[in-house]
Structure 1
Amino acid sequence: MTDTEFLRQGRAVIELEAAALSRLAGQLHASFDRACRALLACSGRVVVVGMGKSGH
């Protein structure tokens, strides 16, 4: 892969991820606020786990 191809691909990935974040921003609702407040109200530690399946 040439330097130009790396740059092209890098820019394409960033543009794709930026579009996904833009869509995600429009999906935040009151439940996000409640979740943030619940996390802030926790004393001690919060453990976050997932199953490793993107988009599911």
Structure 2
Amino acid sequence: MLNYALLFLIIAIIAAVFGFGGVAGTAASIAKVLFFIFLVLMVISLFSHVFKT
């Protein structure tokens, strides 16, 4: 999941450099959403590991 977030971030940066504003904005928003999903899943996994009985 984090790999996809980083991939879309790189696509957004490359698209912004070449002047494709729409593509860069879309890729950046996808990267942001995937990153936050990754963070939520990581926290859930951490809590489940800590409170494992």
TM value normalised by structure 1: 0.48
Q: Which amino acid aligns with 1:26?
A: F
1:14-29 mapped onto 2 (5 Å cutoff): 14-29=35-50
Q: Counting helix residues as a fraction of each chain, which structure ranks higher? A: 2
Aligned residues: 31
Instruction: Give structure 2 stretches of 5+ with no counterpart.
Output: 1-21
Identity %: 0
TM value normalised by structure 2: 0.50
Identify the structure with bigger relative contact order (alpha carbons < 8 Å, sequence gap 6+): 2
For 1:12-39, what per-residue CA distance to the aligned partner results, in whole angstroms no more than 9, with x for missing partners?
00000100000000011487xxxxxxxx
Instruction: Give structure 1 stretches of 5+ with no counterpart.
Output: 32-56
